[in-house]
Amino acid sequence: MTITVLLADDQAMVRSGLRLILENQPDISVVAEAADGVEALAAARRLRPDVCLVDIRMPRLDGIEVTRALAGPGVVDPLRVVVVTTFDLDEYVYGALRGGAVGFVLKDAGPALLVEAVRAASVGDALISPSVTLRLLRHLAVTASPAGRSGRQPLRPLSERETEVVRAIAAGRTNQEIAAQLFISLSTVKSHVSGIQTKLGVRNRVEIAAWAWENRVVGGGRQSDPGSG
């Protein structure tokens, strides 16, 4: 099946570059472009593409507002939004995540990562640029309370394995990468992710990652040794 994509960016040259990268793939088709947030919102609601690639800084309506309107809390049938940004301000991207974005990549991350992010979003997965994750971790480390907790605790405690999966998600790992890292099946990973969402009261993987960052669940550097459990 072809993955339909909406491109929203106020720079025509950027949109042309993104279109060229995406339409070079046999399974991706760009169905619309938007030069500002209002256009993006209207086109996304009219066409309901599989994935919306949205820049943060746009005229009339910025990318965070567009993300909230298309995928935020309270949206009955949310679309899948991936933020593509130069990442000038950490809080912009963090705001987009809290607004419902299912992933984000830097504009200079390269064509392969962009394509992977679109494919991941189209199947309900998420791709978070590792360098962006590190930036957010640093930002949260500075702004967190002394206790380092957000106060949003799980409805039920996470198991040791679920905690490992949370850490991997927060580090930007895909389901396939988590399965390989922890030596478990892909279906088991998906089952864990579903259980984690229920326990945390969140809707998607990016909200799981945000919870992990807020609550200092993410360890320094690599995740736990896969052979430990």
Query: How confident is the model over 29-75, as pLDDT tens digits?
Result: 999 999 999 999 999 999 999 999 999 989 999 999 999 999 998 89
What does the pLDDT read at residue 130? 65
- Which segments of the chain have a pLDDT < 70? 87-90, 93, 130-152, 219-229
Q: Measure the CA angle with vertex 5, ends 2 and 6; round to 5°.
A: 160
What does the pLDDT read at residue 199? 93
Closest by alpha carbon to 23, among 39, 4, 49, 45? 4
Task: Look at the pTM and tell me if it is higher than 0.75.
Answer: no
What does the pLDDT read at residue 134? 61
What does the pLDDT read at residue 211? 84
What does the pLDDT read at residue 85? 83
Distance CA 207, CA 46 (A): 26
Alpha-carbon distances of 26 from 102, 157, 158, 168, rounded to whole Å = 23, 44, 40, 30
What does the pLDDT read at residue 223? 36
What does the pLDDT read at residue 226? 32
What does the pLDDT read at residue 224? 35
What does the pLDDT read at residue 58? 93
What does the pLDDT read at residue 145? 46
Report the interhelical angle of 186-200 vs 205-214 (nearest 10°).
60
What does the pLDDT read at residue 171? 78
